[in-house]
Amino acid sequence: MDVNAAVAAAAAIAGVLTGVIAMLAFRWSERDQKRPTRTSLHTDPVLPPGVDTVLSVLRSSAVVLDEADAVVKASSAAYALGLVRGGKLAVEPMLQMTRDTRRDGEIRQVELDLPRRGTGRGEALAVSARVAPLGSRLVLLLVEDLTEARRIEAVRRDFVANVSHELKTPVGALSLLSEAVMDASDDPEAVQRFAGRMQIEATRLTNLVQELIDLSRVQNDDPLEDAEPVRVDELVAEAVDRCRHQAGAKQITMAAGGTADLAVWGNRGQLAAALGNLVENAVNYSPARTRVGIAARRVTAPGGDMIELAVTDQGIGISEKDKERVFERFYRVDPARSRATGGTGLGLAIVKHVVASHGGEVTVWSAEGQGSTFTLRLPEAGAARDRASQHPDPDLDDEAGTTESSPYEPLPAPEVLP
């Protein structure tokens, strides 16, 4: 009897323990289900309705953080800029801004320079960060990349400074010369001398203003809207006529070759200005009694035949360190010589923009004391016209109008131009 009672008591105790354990396990499981997990922190339902859609169309990089500074939502641009790493905001100043905004609800904005990822050159990434509360628990961070805007602004400042400097020189000279003319009113020879100098400075000022207008035009206009076949020999003749007086004064021989039966595709006025600038530079930077050559040839290219126009001189040449910068606006290899010849430093910049807008390229070969060769590569008019007439889609006929090109000669069969 006593044994049976003991067994019954033990069974009862075991049942009670089992029930307690089962209840505790149920409660523990229920609490685990209610506890937020790492993945639940990054799911969209925690965002207010419509916020996810708005963030997806913003141009700025967007990051949403919760009360634990964990990233709830981040745009792909935020990851690309390196703002978010491992589910955390990686920029300490921005993280501090979010904490301050979460504490007092105040909207904050600041501009920062961040190190650029993947480069060891210390390049900075300029950004503007704006933080605002998003509901009662979340904080929204918007980051805008200002790097390109800063670069453009720097270019604009440099351009304005250069233009101001270049304009100040002839304007100041005209002011001084006009005073000199007034003081020498009783000396006809002095008046004539000063008036001649005033003409030179006025011409320099006119050329500078005109080249500024030309540069602005080629940067803003689309030359292919008015594109047409342009004969190369006509472009060469126009460039030679433009420099005939300067070349004759220095006894420089002008020679051209290989330009017959060739045509390029583009805006005639802009192409004539580009080639004219190259020929004018060649004449201005060449010693007296030397030779300037203009050569042309057809070359085969994957997208269609191209026309190469090379302008060669026997001038002072360009050093290696200057070759990379000769196409910059207002850059001069020899500033003293440029001012003596009336150069503005914009001619090669105009050439670069004209050729690029026509789908071509410009290259330079030069050696100090041996001269220079500037080469333009432009689409041939014949190949473009043949493709347009035979196939509406230019990609359907890559071989139209192609011919075998001969080895390049700087001055093939030169024709001496008076």
- 224-417 shares the fold of 41-145: no
**417 or 268, which is more confident:** 268
Residues 366, 318: Cα–Cα separation, whole Å: 6
41-145 maps to CATH 3.40.50.280: no
| 224-417 homologous superfamily | Histidine kinase-like ATPase, C-terminal domain (3.30.565.10)
Q: What is the pLDDT of residue 44?
A: 44
Per-residue confidence band for 43, with pLDDT thresholds at 50, 70 and 90? very low
What are the tokens at 52?
A: 């996810």
Q: What is the pLDDT of residue 362?
A: 92
Per-residue confidence band for 290, with pLDDT thresholds at 50, 70 and 90? very high
Q: Phi and psi (nearest 5°) for 261?
A: 60, 25
Exposure string for 301-338, b = 16+ CB within 10 A, e = fewer? eeebbbbbbbbbbbbbbbeeebeeebbebbbbbeeeeb
Cβ atoms within 10 Å of 280's Cβ, excluding its own: 21
Look at residue 268 and tell me whether its pLDDT is greater than 70: yes
Q: What is the pLDDT of residue 410?
A: 38
What is the percent of the chain where pLDDT is above 90?
14
DSSP class of residue 105 equals: -
Q: What is the pLDDT of residue 393?
A: 37
Helix, strand, coil percent content, the chain, rounded in steps of 5: 50, 20, 30
- φ/ψ region of 72 (left if φ > 0, alpha if ψ in -120 to 50, else beta) reads alpha
**138 or 119, which is more confident:** 138
Domain ranges (residues) in the chain: 41-145, 150-220, 224-417
Residue 351 and residue 277 in contact, taking contact as beta carbons nearer than 8 Å: yes
Least confident interval from 123-132, 163-172, 252-261: 163-172
Tell me which fold the domain 150-220 belongs to: Helix Hairpins (1.10.287)
Per-residue confidence band for 207, with pLDDT thresholds at 50, 70 and 90? confident
Per-residue confidence band for 364, with pLDDT thresholds at 50, 70 and 90? very high
Structure-token match 């700025």, residue found: 60
pTM for the structure as a whole:
0.54
Least confident interval from 54-58, 287-291, 378-382, 387-391: 387-391
